[in-house]
Amino acid sequence: MCPECKRTLGYLITAMTFFALAIAMVLFYVPTEASMGSIQKIFYLHLPVAIATFVACLICFAASIAFAVTRDMKWDRLASASARIAVVFCSVVLLTGMIWGKSAWGQWWTWSPRLTFSLVLWLLYVVYVMVRASVESPQRRAIIAAVYGIIAFLDVPLVYLSVRLMPDIHPVSVELAGAMKLTLIAWFVPVFLLMFGLIALRFRIDQHTATTGSGDQQSIAAPMTWAGGTL
Amino acid sequence: MSSGGYVLLAYVLSLLLLWGYAASLLLATRKQRGGKSCQSS
Amino acid sequence: MNTIATLIAKDLRIEARNRQTLGLVIVLGVLIVTVLGLGLGTQNNVNGFSATAVLWVAYLFSGVLCFEKTMAVERNDAVLSALLMAPIDRGMIYLAKLLGNLILILAVAAVITPAGVLFFGFDLSVAPGTFAGVMALSILGFAAIGTLFAAMVSSTRLQGGLLAMMIFPVTLPLVLISTQLMMRAFRDGLPPGAASIGVLIAFDLIFLTLSWLTFEWVLEP
């Protein structure tokens, strides 16, 4: 097996191991929180994924600026990859938030600040992906996406501030005991490993498509380029 | 559904989503390499 | 300054000649207000909130149509190419487009708002200044973003639909804040909070500046 595939596999297996460890901690180690009951355990997944989403959006922002300034396509690829990963991770944030809400307060959806913010964030980056899909020319697509990427991220704090004006029926403040803090940290590791790994993987896929010159994934040129050691 | 059930639902769906996406990316990588295993350089 | 005036005059003259955009946009706005008014207005729980929300829906959709059309004008007869070849600072083109859009949107607002007020039996006299001020700030931010995005999508296949998809999430803070402020003013009788107005102003400043700076990157002949 080639070194690159070995690396990717090794990386993902490591991430999986950490996930397994973190799951075990949630199941067997961490105590149930007193006031909210066992539903609070969603928190250990929800928070790290939410932060990871934000980091992915930040990467997209930085890459968008980098592209706008340098016009080097690799930044465009990074922006694209991180935005897609942000959408996937934000979907998890929405999902866990909704399930938590359903269990704790009986409704799948409320216009609470947190859920509304997650939804808007999700929409912002889904639109990013759709904008990219609508522009044919790679150069034009890149600059349009970059401008949108910058605007979308700068919008995030404004959305955050404006949702805080909405009535928050379900404020959630959590006091974390030691075992809980440990479990939370245990979840940050695999989530962030996966986030960076997926961005890198997506980046390589787009880079490969770009350097082989065609979108044809059965292209004969592919093994040749690989053998030539483009990585 | 008990709250334990909801916790399980949340974790299972989330991990399926995350690793399902990872799997789709891995599949795309394999397709790019023409469906064969990588050649050594 | 002169440049902007010339550019706007050009756009307004074109508009005055065929009155196409303004007519379309006003009719769309009134239709939206009518349809929503039929659906919602018949319930007797009208307050500042639902009226503002309806007006916003009308502004958003009319606005999107308006931005799309004012940008499309440049596509006809290769006007844009000519414009780009002239020694005009791109930022000026943005400002001219923005002001043109603002004039049109305000014209639309002038028609739709009374319609909405009428259909919803909404009493503006409680806080007319708040209403006018908040809506003005919000529409400014909306137009700032919309003008930029319209330039971005004018060369794509999807155009209008894509434009709406891009504008709505980004301008959501405006909608959220203005509806909250209306609730405060009309339901609770309170003056607008400084923080909320601050966020509106911040939105306008940030995106006006950003759009003005990046406009030339997205213009395509």
Instruction: Tell me whether C166 touches chain A (CB under 8 Å).
Output: yes
**What distance in Å separates the CA atoms of residue C153 and residue C21, rounded to the nearest whole number?**
18
Describe the crossing of helices A73-105 and A138-163 by its angle, rounded to 10 degrees. 30
Cα C64 to chain centroid distance, Å, stands at: 7
Q: What is the 3-state secondary structure (H, E, C) of chain A?
A: CCHHHHHHHHHHHHHHHHHHHHHHHHHHHCCCECCCEHHHHHHHHHHHHHHHHHHHHHHHHHHHHHHHHHCCHHHHHHHHHHHHHHHHHHHHHHHHHHHHHHHHHCCCCCCCHHHHHHHHHHHHHHHHHHHHHHCCCHHHHHHHHHHHHHHHHHHHHHHHHHHCCCCCCCCCCCCCCHHHHHHHHHHHHHHHHHHHHHHHHHHHHHHHHHHCCCCCCCCCHHHHHHHCCCC
**What distance in Å separates the CA atoms of residue C103 and residue C12, rounded to the nearest whole number?**
9
Is residue A45 within 8 Å of B10, Cβ to Cβ? yes
Query: Which residue in A has a C-alpha nearest to residue C209's C-alpha?
Result: A151
- Residue C135 CA: distances (Å) to CA of A227, C57, C128, C181: 61, 13, 11, 10
Interchain touch C–A (≥3 Cβ pairs closer than 8 Å): yes
pLDDT at residue C77, as a whole number = 63
Amino acid in the structure at residue C206 = I
pLDDT at residue A223, as a whole number = 37
Is residue A65 within 8 Å of B31, Cβ to Cβ? no
pLDDT at residue A218, as a whole number = 37
pLDDT in tens, A135-183: 888 999 999 999 999 999 999 999 999 888 777 766 666 677 788 888 8
Q: What is the DSSP letter of C184?
A: I
Is residue B7 within 8 Å of A39, Cβ to Cβ? yes
**What distance in Å separates the CA atoms of residue B13 and residue B9, rounded to the nearest whole number?**
6
CB environment A141-150: b (16+ within 10 A), e (fewer)? bbbbbbbbbb
- Structure tokens given for A83: 């935005």
What ipTM goes with this model?
A: 0.88
Residue ranges in chain C whose pLDDT is less than 50 = none
pLDDT at residue A220, as a whole number = 36
Q: How many domains does chain C have?
A: 1
Question: What is the domain range of residue C44?
Answer: 2-218
Residues in chain C closer than 8 A to A123 (CB atoms):
168-169
- Structure tokens given for C52: 């503002």
Q: How far is C19 from chain A (nearest CA, A)?
A: 30
Residues 127-156 of A with CB under 8 A from C: 127, 130-131, 134-135, 140, 143-144, 146-148, 150-152, 154-155
The answer to whether C162 contacts A150, with C-beta atoms less than 8 Å apart, is no
Per run of 10 residues, the mean pLDDT along chain A (length 231 residues) is 80 92 87 79 93 97 97 96 97 95 89 92 96 90 95 95 78 74 91 95 91 51 33 25
Cβ contacts below 8 Å, chain A against chain C, sum to: 81
Pick among C153, C156, C158 to test the A interface (most A CBs inside 10 A): C156
